[in-house]
Amino acid sequence: MNDAQKLQVTSSIMKLFPNYNQHFNLLLSLNEMDLTKTQFKALLITANEHTLSMSKLADRMCISREQSTRVINPLADRGLIHREIHPGNRR
């Protein structure tokens, strides 16, 4: 497929799915903010919760607890979320 055909297909998709354009723009914004889709999903989930354990976050995101830690740590390092270690459950 040449570049002109790719452009035509992209244009057709955007006409068929107008909301796709919003999602595409969101993905571009995430790129500019240096966020992955998974990190953005974690931010959305945690924004609506006062406290949320890592295991509950992992369950809501349908990922492993280890993956949730890898997602959350960079966000905490950047100050985008506040992470507290539970004093009775430090593993």
Residue 87 has pLDDT above 80, yes or no: no
Predicted local distance difference test score (pLDDT) of residue 51: 85
Q: What is the mean pLDDT of residues 70-86?
A: 89
Q: Please state, in angstroms and rounded to a whole number, the distance separating the CA atoms of residues 12 and 16.
A: 6
* Average pLDDT of the segment spanning 59-69: 91
Residue indicated by tokens 């349908």: 62
pLDDT of residue 3: 77
pLDDT at residue number 63: 92
pTM value surpassing 0.85: no
Cα-based torsion angle of the residue sequence 75, 26, 66, 46 in order, rounded to the nearest 10 degrees: 60
Residue 88 has, within 13 A of its CA and on its CB side, a CA count of 1
**Residue 56 predicted with pLDDT over 80:** yes
Q: CA–CA separation, 43 vs 87, rounded Å?
A: 24
3-state per-residue secondary structure call for 56-68: HHHHHHCCCHHHH
